[in-house]
A and B are shown apart, each in its own frame.
Chain A
Amino acid sequence: MSENDVVLRAEGLKKYYPTEDGFLDKVFGESGWVKALDGVDLQIREGETLGIVGESGCGKSTLGRTLLQLEEPTDGTVHYREENLVEATGDRLQAARTDLQMIFQNPFASLNPRFTVADIIGEPLDIHGIASGSQRDKRISELLEEVGLSRSHANRYPHEFSGGQLQRIGIARALAVDPELIVCDEPVSALDVSVQAQILNLLKSLQKEYGLSYIFIAHDLSVVEHISDRIGVMYLGKLVEKGTTEEIFAEPHHPYTEALLSAIPEPNPRWEHDRILLKGTVPSPIDPPSGCSFHTRCPRVIQPEGYEFEQPNWRAILTLRTRLEAEDASMRSVLSAHKASDEAIDPETIPAQLREAYDLPEQLTDPEADRVLQSAVDHMVNDEIGLAADVLAQAFSTPCESETPELITKEQHPIACHLYSEAYSDQVDTELGW
């Protein structure tokens, strides 16, 4: 495919929101930034579907909205064909919107309840001066039939329709201006599985008929796999893996993609598997973790040099350390709870209890590593949280927390993970076990 086929291209796209919420913060300029999008590059070609997956709070929806200039990007460019939309004037932007459209997740909220269906679908026709009078009515009827409704629906109101039908109306509205690209933001996640299949089929047949390009945002990987030609996996405002659908679903994976794939409930009761359970939720984008932002949850986080750990134990130590550093105050209360819960508790057993509470074994296999851990646990017993964190931080360091991984092309598709970096190949167990 040639460069000319590229419909939309984003480079270094960033969207930061200020966190200031109080008057004093504004006065003293002490506002931080929510880095909803932190440098996204992508391009989408004619007739192609690009799937974007990730958990809530990863910035998927912000990406969709920023691409269409519904949010003004903080930095970066978005080119539609040859034109940079970020610098486009209002008139040009409005003209571009006849080619770039959007379908929203919640059809109950995205359709005006006071408008009839004809008003809803006719509105873009009016705004862009596409059709009027009897031509407008004809176009509305056409569009309704196109999306599997009938022309008799035109004079009804949204509340008279089911969720699936409303989503069809939303699609008809997007189609009204004859667009080239539609951003679909979780278009089927509010729908029943049978209705979801109808809408997915409709989107596919419309794509064939009109050569549409889709950016399909969803958290359901099985839906994304079904509809997408290429997929981008997002975590905390960044794309951590990009590739064709086959590449994303085949090894090698980014550890985050691997966890997402493993979490899908398989519609097969005989399916035996060891599921990777990610602990916790996506960290706050106000203060994202250093280095690789996934390192706080990554099951495959790289081990520190000079020690030998069982991987789950290393993960547990790093989790403990993150908690020690971040949660000084609340950690203290946990410790006191441990001590106060039972007066008769033997003080000798507190270290063992602490280890158990943080999924650590009584004894690490590497005696040197265990010595470090024990001294950290001893600090914790004495309520010296900061010291405990320091002991762990000094002895155990991983490139995952200090170096930000770039997208490295591995087996033809780019993954942002140090596991695939030459620089750390000697620290990585070559047998990744997938």
Chain B
Amino acid sequence: MSLLEVEDLEVNFYTEDGTVTAVNGVSYTIDRGEKFGVVGESGAGKSVTALSLLRLIDNPGRIESGEIRFKGRNILEMNEDEIRSIRGNEIAMVFQDAQTALNPVYTVGEQIAEAVRLHFDYSKERARERAIEMLDRVGIPDPAERYTDYPHQFSGGMQQRAVIAMALSCDPELLVCDEPTTALDVTIEAQILELLKDLARDFDTAIQLITHDLGVVAELCDSVMVMYAGEPVEYATVDELFFDPKHPYTVGLMSSIPRIGSGEEMLQTIPGGMPDLIQLPPGCSFHPRCRYAEKVCSQIDPRMVDPDGKPVDGLEDRRGASCLAYTDEMDGDLGYEVSVEEEDNE
């Protein structure tokens, strides 16, 4: 049994303009100690998926259907006390913007100690020791002294370290990191990624990493789910993702990265932007931006299948793409599979 199993999750937001289906039929699993990447552009539903894990979706949002099984227990059916014992304790989150994640009027150390006291029933003194130990663990120099610093006295990289220290202070089994390095310099990003790698190795903590930076994915992740407009469009190991991408959207993302030494004049782009989630295009929601799209793509909603066309559920089978190029009903129009293959060896 995997540590986390998300099955057919659907999350809607009921806005004045209509119902936004932010997450639609998302399934995936994460094993103990696994580093799982969720990739996609803004608005793909990555963060909403992550927030759903801890039932942090607030009005006007609602988790409509599906199951989130953590160690076999469905988080969506837990009562408030049970979910509280999961939050922080077993699943912890690290947000993109560390500055807003920290309370400016408490010292950094107190905030970590508070989390420890809440979950472990430690004395004040012991919680303080634990907080200092965690600050030391994430590489903050002079942790005993920095304990009494306020968040504004920390640099951006140190704030993110403090947030990671807080998340780790209760020994979670799953750490959900939402764009943890996007706001940081490359040098600091390298430090934080190295830290996350060490932590996953030393504590066997599983990591769900949400990012739009494919370099970060290559650096850290074992396997990946690519999302587009609320739906998973490809499952792959990190190696498959980079060397054998199957979905045209993945290919588009890959080719839009500027690569050092490539010398190309213009970057390949995915034209246009994310569609309106209130009214998704018919058929494959990527077809208006897909360079390989044909008429049928606007008529049939593709299923998630493996490269041979066998249905994939994202739970047992973790290799697949939702593109009509791989389903049998499309045999007359399979021309673009080859083009996809051509692109992956950049």
Interface segment among B2-10, B170-178, B210-218, B332-340: the answer is: B210-218
Picked from B155, B185, B273, the residue with its CB within 8 Å of the CB of A162 is: B273
Given contacts A56-B185, A193-B213, A222-B257, contact A281 B155 (CB under 8 A): yes
B267/A226 in contact, CB under 8 A: yes
Q: Is the CB of A337 within 8 A of B213?
A: no
The binding surface of chain A is classed by DSSP as helix
Interfacial chain B residues near A165, Cβ < 8 Å = 273
- Cα A266 to Cα B221 in complex, Å, equals 13
B252 within 8 Å of A (CB atoms) = yes
Cα distance, A165 to B145, chains bound together (Å): 46
Q: What is the CA–CA distance of A266 and B262 in the complex, to the nearest angstrom?
A: 13
Q: Number of contacting residues on B, CB 8 A? A: 54
Q: Mark A289-333, 1 if CB is under 8 A from B, else 0.
A: 000000000000000000000000000000000010001011101
Interface assignment of B193: CB less than 8 Å from any CB of chain A = yes
Q: Enumerate B248-268 residues with CB–CB distance to A below 8 Å.
A: 252-254, 256-262, 264-268
> A188's closest neighbor in chain B, by CB?
B258
Nearest-Cβ distance from residue B67 to partner chain A, whole angstroms? 30
| B interface footprint on A244-276 (CB within 8 Å = 1, 0 otherwise) | 000001000000000110111111111100010
Q: Which of A341-373 contact B (CB under 8 A)?
A: none
- As a 0/1 sequence over residues 134 to 164 of chain B, the CB contacts with chain A under 8 angstroms (1 = contact) are 0000000110110000000001111000000
Q: Does A223 contact B (CB under 8 A)?
A: yes
Bound Cα distance A63, B136 (Å): 36
Q: Which of A199-226 contact B (CB under 8 A)?
A: 200-201, 204-205, 219-223, 225-226
Inter-chain contact B258/A55, CB cutoff 8 Å: no
Contact with A along B205-233 (1 / 0, CB 8 A): 00000001111111101000000000000
Q: Which one, B141, B185, B242, B268, contacts A267 given CB within 8 A?
A: B242
Q: Determine the residue in chain A with the shortest Cβ distance to B146.
A: A330
Report which A residues bind B (CB closer than 8 A).
55-56, 162-165, 192-198, 200-201, 204-205, 219-223, 225-227, 249, 259-260, 262-271, 275, 277-278, 280-281, 323, 327, 329-331, 333-334, 337
Query: Taking the complex as formed, is B280 at the interface, i.e. its CB lies under 8 A from any CB of chain A?
Result: no
With A195-B41, A197-B258, A333-B145 as known contacts, state yes or no: A265 contacts B273, CB within 8 Å. Answer: no
Partner of A197, one of B186, B221, B238, B256: B256
Chain B positions within 8 Å of A281 at CB level = 155, 157-158, 188
Q: Cβ of A269 and Cβ of B187 under 8 Å apart?
A: no
Tell me, yes or no, whether B190 is within 8 Å of chain A by CB.
yes
Which of A197, A268, A277, A333 has a CB less than 8 Å from the CB of B267? A197
Instruction: Beyond the given A226-B262, A266-B218, please list 14 additional residue pairs across the A-B interface where CB-CB is below 8 A.
Output: A55-B186, A193-B213, A194-B270, A197-B269, A198-B271, A201-B269, A219-B185, A219-B186, A267-B214, A268-B242, A269-B218, A269-B242, A277-B194, A327-B142
- B260 touching A193 by the CB < 8 A rule? no
18 cross-chain CB contacts under 8 A: A55-B187, A165-B273, A192-B41, A193-B212, A197-B257, A197-B270, A198-B269, A221-B260, A226-B262, A249-B260, A259-B187, A260-B187, A265-B190, A267-B214, A270-B239, A277-B190, A327-B142, A329-B145
CB A227 to nearest CB in B, in angstroms, measures 8
A275 & B190 in contact (Cβ 8 Å cutoff): yes
| B42 at interface by CB-CB < 8 Å | yes
Cβ B144 vs Cβ A337 within 8 A: yes
Output the nearest chain A residue to B194 by Cβ-Cβ distance.
A277
Closest to A161 in B: B273
Task: Tell me the complex Cα distance, A201–B268, Å.
Answer: 9
B41 touching A222, Cβ below 8 Å: no
Residue of B nearest to A220 (CB): B186
Distance from B275 Cβ to chain A, minimum over Cβ atoms (Å):
11
In the complex, which residues of chain A have a beta carbon less than 8 angstroms from the beta carbon of B216?
265
Residue of B nearest to A190 (CB): B182
Give the residue of A195, A271, A333 whose beta carbon is less than 8 angstroms from that of B142.
Answer: A333
B177 to chain A, nearest CB (A): 14
Enumerate chain B residues within 8 angstroms of A333, measured Cβ to Cβ.
142, 144-145
A216 CB to closest chain B CB, in angstroms? Answer: 12
Among A162, A192, A269, A277, the residue within 8 A (CB) of B239 is A269
Contact of B186 among A196, A226, A227, A263 (CB under 8 A): A263
Q: Is B191 an interface residue (CB 8 A)?
A: yes
Q: Which of A56, A193, A222, A226 has the most CB of B within 10 A?
A: A193
Shortest 9 CB-CB distances between A and B: which pairs? A265-B215, A197-B256, A226-B258, A330-B145, A197-B267, A263-B190, A263-B186, A192-B41, A55-B185
B189 contacts chain A at the CB level, 8 A cutoff: yes
A contact residues around B42 at 8 Å (CB)? 162-163, 192
Q: Name which residue of chain B comes closest to A196, CB basis.
A: B256
CA A277 – CA B194 in complex, angstroms? Answer: 9
**B142 and A334 form a contact (CB under 8 A):** yes
Q: Cβ of B190 and Cβ of A267 under 8 Å apart?
A: no
The answer, among B218, B221, B266, B273, for a CB contact under 8 Å with A271, is B218
A residues less than 8 Å from B185 (CB atoms): 55-56, 219
B279 → chain A, closest Cβ, in Å? 16
Most buried by A among B142, B156, B239, B252: B142
List of B residues within 8 angstroms of A198 by Cβ:
269, 271
- Encoded as 1 (CB less than 8 Å from any A CB) or 0, chain B from 30 to 73 comes to 00000000000110000000000000000000000000000000
- How far, in angstroms, from A365 to B215 measured CA to CA in the complex? 39
| Chain A residue with Cβ nearest B191 | A277
Cα A56 to Cα B257 in complex, Å, equals: 22
Output the least CB separation between A365 and chain B (Å).
26
Residues of chain B with a CB closer than 8 A to A221's CB: 186, 260
Q: Give Cα A263 to B215, complex, Å.
A: 11
Q: Which residue from B132, B158, B269 sits with its C-beta under 8 Å from A194? A: B269
**B186 neighbours in A (Cβ, 8 Å):** 55, 219-221, 260, 263-265
Give complex CA distance A172, B149 in Å: 44
Q: Which residues of A have CB within 8 Å of B221?
A: 269
* Docked CA distance A410–B112 (Å): 50
Cα–Cα distance between A106 and B338 once the two chains are bound (Å): 39
Closest-by-CB residue of B relative to A327 is: B142
